[in-house]
A and B are shown apart, each in its own frame.
Chain A
């Protein structure tokens, strides 16, 4: 995994393990971490991020349970060959919740609707740099 792609903010209100979990999910979603790619050991990532190894372990455990990562015994941790697909209804619900969170955030900051939609397009473009053929 390229260094500095995963950042965490210990001062943030979000627990560190969830920041690491989200960050890795994002790297997998963008293709920056391809299926089958090796992820750093708990020890190395903990040292890089300056966090407690138990925190990294917790994030890895959750991602392994969710089928995003897989542990090969005695070998290391890898991105799953085929990351799991959620059932359609669950996917739609998660997307709606995420959209609501994003829209609320934009509204809280007083950002106009068009500007917030532009920001969303820019995010898709950003993701597209790691994954071909899914953006216009």
Chain B
């Protein structure tokens, strides 16, 4: 166990991102405790992508900090990201490599990496091991990205809309693997998604971004109790344009 297990695996402290006069994220403060599945929701343009880029050390905050395991990810990107698995919104891997080749390549980049487990996972996903990445279906590409993200048994998994554009079966396969990971390792998860129905049974906490501000940050169970609504309706209500507002 690490000495800093008491620290939340992921947190933001007054995080803001501005492009010139435009505020993309406004003073976000929240934390994802260890073992928690945190679903981050928001309509397009609410700031989800910028937040994920800050949390993975790819973008510098204009103010405030993005913290992984209590440390500033912008300062300590390499060492912190070794403990994190990321599934990006757009599957991205060298197109000429096969799934088997990608597994070998990724394994070499880490001190310890579960090659056998990854191959087993790819079999469960029905991904052909020898086919070039470029020729795989969208669902298969997503399965490969998730497999690569889990091989080093990360303590924190960041999933950026992992089921966007996938059919129902592929979506179920992705969330099934994530559930197995939760059961086996108690991995902490931050997931941004449009797939409210799928995440409703899985999320412990939800955050809803609206115009760069975190307007909801609470346990899903208490949010449902408070709003007396299913997640889909809570989301629609919270993110609806203000009624009667001026244009």
Chain A residues at the B interface, C-beta cutoff of 8 Å: 8, 10-13, 15-16, 42-43, 46-47, 49-55
Contacts and interface: CB of A to CB of B under 8 A. Distances in A.
Interface in B191-247: 197-198, 200-204, 221, 224-225, 228-232
Contact of A11 (B179, B182, B203, B231): B231
Interface of B: 35, 37, 172, 175-176, 179-180, 182-184, 197-198, 200-204, 221, 224-225, 228-232
A11 B197 contact: yes
A43 B180 contact: yes
11 contacts: A10-B200, A11-B197, A11-B230, A13-B224, A43-B184, A47-B179, A50-B172, A51-B179, A51-B202, A52-B201, A52-B202
Contacts, number: 57
A49 B172 CA distance: 11
Given A11-B231, A11-B232, A15-B221, A43 B183 contact: yes
Contacts of B228: 13
B179 A50 contact: yes
Nearest to A18: B221
A46 B232 contact: no
A13, A49, A50, A54 — most chain B CB neighbours (10 Å)? A50
A50 B169 CA distance: 13
Nearest to B232: A11
B176 A50 contact: yes
Contacts of A12: 230
B142 to A, nearest CB: 17
B16 to A, nearest CB: 31
